[in-house]
Amino acid sequence: MYVYEKIERKDRSLRVNNSCSSREEVVVRRLSPLPQSPVPAAAAATKGHSGLLTNSKSGHSGLLSSKSGQLGGDSKRMKGLFKSKPRTPVDIVRQTRDILIFADQSSTSLSDSKREEKMAELAKNIRELKSILYGNSESEPVSEACAQLTQEFFRENTLRLLIVCLPTLNLEARKDATQIVANLQRQQVNSRLIASDYLEKNTDLLDILIAGYANTDMALHYGVMLRECIRHQTVARYVLESPNVKKLFDYIQLPYFDISADAAATFKELLTRHKSTVAEFLSKNYDWFFGEFNSKLLESTNYITRRQAVKLLGDMLLDRSNAVVMTRYVSSRDNLRILMNLLRESSKSIQVEAFHVFKLFVANQNKPPDIISILVANRSKLLRLFADFKIDKDSLSEFLETAVEAAKRAGEIIREGFYKTKHVEHKGLVDLVTETDKACEDLIFNHLKQQHPSHKFIGEETTAAYGITELTDEPTWIVDPLDGTTNFVHGFPFVCISIGLTIGKVPKVGVVYNPIMNELFTGVHGKGAFLNGKPIKVSSQSELVKSLLATEVCFSASSLSAQSCNRVRSLRMTGSCALNLCGIACGRIELFYETGFGGPWDVAGGAVIVKEAGGIVYDPSGEDFDITSQRIAASNPLLKEAFVEVLQQSE
């Protein structure tokens, strides 16, 4: 046995995690032999210093055990000397892979607590991997570390495990994993996109991603991954030629608005990114593709689906790469019939997009005789239609599209925060505000301002923070980023984003979106009201005693008397003014009344939707509705008189 002493030097800088830091280099020198003793030979070599302290066959192992007592210091000081170096990207990928294998096997031999511990470690590793690829608040991503991570990810099938095991992760880990997979598609190693080569050999992963749209919990995550994967032309070609591509037509028509919109975005990316591949695909598969496209999308009963489809059709046919396909499409009388029907739509957005495609039928220099005969027979009707036809970028329909996109994006924030612990503040005696309210309002206003910088904006949270904002005759967006905050805090699913546009102080566009229940209500002045793209109408009930009443009873609002409540069938309190108005619009309830609510943001979106669904909005006194009065009643026209009488008796 030997006695060792340590010599400390600071003349070397060790590079750790791509940053230099001064570290003490420990050199161990043998001095003199010691008598043999029965001290246990516990291994004391530290992995991080394997080049300096190694286990060997020379009898030196175990001499730095905490039990030896011969090293001139206590065990705590020695442990401080031999700290493990930080994990490399390769280490993290390998450890992540090991835990993913555990998750994939779904072992039942371990206790629930042990499994939770493993999954928590997995989530932490995934978060670290994301930080390496994207950087963080303290540092930018380092190209060398990203390259190491990328190589290791594809070397041992970690990408496959991450995709397959995604359903076993918690929501935050899924989100991080989705961003990792997306980022890896763009990472180059030695000037090569190795993700493309990997996916070309593992095409079954693409089938998993497409089929993921059928899983409501996984759909949006797999959708993001799929869109990033089809950035590679070989991958896009496989997806187009796969029988699974036909499933996208069905996914676009799903009743879940966010999922159907995501599937539509993937479909568009697939058919517009790689022009030569798309042109070849459309030429080979013209009959079945446009048969499905026309019947399932262009002639869909869903307004949003029709609007997206006709815009995509124009993008495809107007692309020069698809010239042959375009000529074939505009030579069909059945296709012309569909386009002429779209020209008669009440939606200005659909009319405008259909007009761009219709021009191709007219401009075709080799029009078949049946096309010519249809155009001639409908000449006078077409001239009347186009006499007042204007392509106006700032039309109400365009405003609606902007609001819907903002609501969808804010809905993702609400959906992610709904099941998490909330940080809650009070903005009054009983009113609550969360971080989600603030994040949603920032996102919505930023989106609206980018599209319409000259418009004015009023929001619940900014008004609460900075005081009342005056409503003028200028186009003004009025936003409640999270109507039903108390419901949100308690996990009660009646929450929504409410966006209204007023012009001349009159509500013209309304969007109310409940991301938890996947319900999107929309209304545009003169264009009707819709729920997830399908037209809605108010109830036709004419008897008060058979009507369902919604109201809110709170400290700052008047309440209906018990006697008045007995005049209706039943009473409901959902905690969301905007959703109550939408309940009137779609016929779920017949009557709504509230006074003393927060401000115009509570009613700006819903008021338009009620009116466009055939309902009426008015002051509880029976006078005209004033959006700034904090007083509202709504019903179908048949019930107004009797309802106002009851309300006046209760006040």
pLDDT tens per residue across span 499-513: 999 998 889 999 999
**C-alpha span between 519 and 599 (Å, rounded):** 23
**C-alpha span between 427 and 155 (Å, rounded):** 53
* Rg from Cα positions in the chain: 32
pLDDT tens per residue across span 147-182: 999 999 999 899 999 999 999 999 889 999 999 999
* The domain made up of 397-533 is a member of CATH 3.30.540.10: yes
Cα first-last separation, the chain: 97
Is 287 annotated among the ligand-binding residues?
Answer: no
Q: Strand locations in 391-493, DSSP E?
A: 424-426, 432-434, 456-459, 476-483
**C-alpha span between 34 and 36 (Å, rounded):** 6
- 275-391 CATH, one of 2.40.50.140, 1.25.10.10, 3.40.50.720, 3.40.50.10800: 1.25.10.10
**C-alpha span between 647 and 619 (Å, rounded):** 10
Do residues 475 and 509 touch, judged by C-beta distance below 8 A?
A: no
pTM of the predicted protein model? 0.64
The single-letter DSSP state of residue 189 is B
The neighbour count for residue 108, using CB atoms within 10 Å, is 7
CA-nearest of 23, 3, 2 to 11 is 23
Do residues 512 and 497 touch, judged by C-beta distance below 8 A?
A: yes
- Average pLDDT on 182-195 reads 91
Residue 626 has pLDDT above 60, yes or no: yes
- Average pLDDT on 543-547 reads 89
CA-nearest of 638, 645, 647, 646 to 539 is 638
Residue 474 has pLDDT above 80, yes or no: yes
Residue 209 host element (H or E): helix 204-211
- Average pLDDT on 30-58 reads 38
The neighbour count for residue 45, using CB atoms within 10 Å, is 17
Do residues 53 and 72 touch, judged by C-beta distance below 8 A?
A: no
**C-alpha span between 509 and 500 (Å, rounded):** 6
| Cα 415 from chain centre | 9
Most confident of 101-110, 285-294, 545-554: 285-294
pLDDT tens per residue across span 67-102: 444 444 454 444 454 555 678 999 999 999 999 988
Residue 25 host element (H or E): strand 25-33
Burial 525-556 (b: 16+ CB within 10 A, else e): bebbbbbbbeebebbebeebeebbbbbbebee
Name the region of 560 (left: φ>0; alpha: ψ -120 to 50; beta: rest). beta
Per-residue pLDDT band at 31 (split at 50, 70, 90): very low
- Average pLDDT on 198-215 reads 96
pLDDT tens per residue across span 295-332: 999 999 988 899 889 999 999 999 999 999 999 999 99
**Which strand ranges, in their side-by-side order, compose the sheet holding 456-459?**
456-459, 476-483, 496-503, 506-514, 519-524, 528-531, 534-535
Residue 521 host element (H or E): strand 519-524
Do residues 413 and 439 touch, judged by C-beta distance below 8 A?
A: yes
Could you tell me the two tokens for 464?
């609460």
**C-alpha span between 434 and 209 (Å, rounded):** 34
pLDDT tens per residue across span 403-454: 999 999 899 888 888 876 555 554 443 344 567 777 888 889 888 887 887 7
**C-alpha span between 271 and 324 (Å, rounded):** 16
The neighbour count for residue 129, using CB atoms within 10 Å, is 24
Q: For residue 204, count CB atoms less than 10 angstroms from its CB and return exposed for 0-12, middle for 13-18, buried for 19 or more.
A: exposed
pLDDT tens per residue across span 354-378: 998 999 999 898 999 999 999 999 8
- Average pLDDT on 205-225 reads 95
CA-nearest of 67, 22, 73, 15 to 41 is 67
**C-alpha span between 314 and 272 (Å, rounded):** 11
pLDDT for residue 12: 35
Do residues 246 and 270 touch, judged by C-beta distance below 8 A?
A: no
Dihedral pair phi/psi, residue 505, rounded to 5°: 65, 10
* Max CA separation in the chain (angstroms): 114
**C-alpha span between 165 and 104 (Å, rounded):** 6
Is 429 annotated among the ligand-binding residues?
Answer: no
Fold of 544-650: D-Maltodextrin-Binding Protein; domain 2 (3.40.190)
C-alpha distances in Å from residue 289, one per residue of 61, 231, 237, 286, 436: 71, 21, 15, 5, 42
pLDDT for residue 423: 53
Is 207 annotated among the ligand-binding residues?
Answer: no
Residue 7 has pLDDT above 80, yes or no: no
CA-nearest of 593, 585, 583, 580 to 538 is 585
pLDDT tens per residue across span 232-288: 999 999 999 999 999 999 999 998 888 888 999 999 999 999 999 999 999 999 999
Do residues 235 and 173 touch, judged by C-beta distance below 8 A?
A: no
Could you tell me the two tokens for 620?
């509880």
**C-alpha span between 547 and 588 (Å, rounded):** 10
Residue 28 has pLDDT above 60, yes or no: no
pLDDT for residue 345: 86
Beta bridge partners of 635: 591, 616
The neighbour count for residue 557, using CB atoms within 10 Å, is 15
Could you tell me the two tokens for 407?
């609501």
Residue 22 has pLDDT above 80, yes or no: no
The single-letter DSSP state of residue 580 is H
Is 388 annotated among the ligand-binding residues?
Answer: no
**C-alpha span between 93 and 162 (Å, rounded):** 11
Please name the residues in contact with 403: beta carbons below 8 A apart, sequence gap of 6 or more. Answer: 448, 477, 499, 501, 509, 511
**Residue 549 vs residue 32, higher pLDDT:** 549
The single-letter DSSP state of residue 320 is G
Do residues 570 and 472 touch, judged by C-beta distance below 8 A?
A: no
Dihedral of the CA atoms 538, 539, 540, 543 (nearest 10)? -130
- Average pLDDT on 465-480 reads 75
**C-alpha span between 158 and 148 (Å, rounded):** 13
Is 398 annotated among the ligand-binding residues?
Answer: no
Could you tell me the two tokens for 184?
């890896």
pLDDT for residue 85: 67
CA-nearest of 177, 198, 95, 187 to 146 is 187
SS3 state at 7: strand
Q: For strand 616-618 and strand 591-595, is the pairing parallel, antiparallel, or unpaired?
A: unpaired
**C-alpha span between 227 and 98 (Å, rounded):** 27
Mean pLDDT of the chain: 81
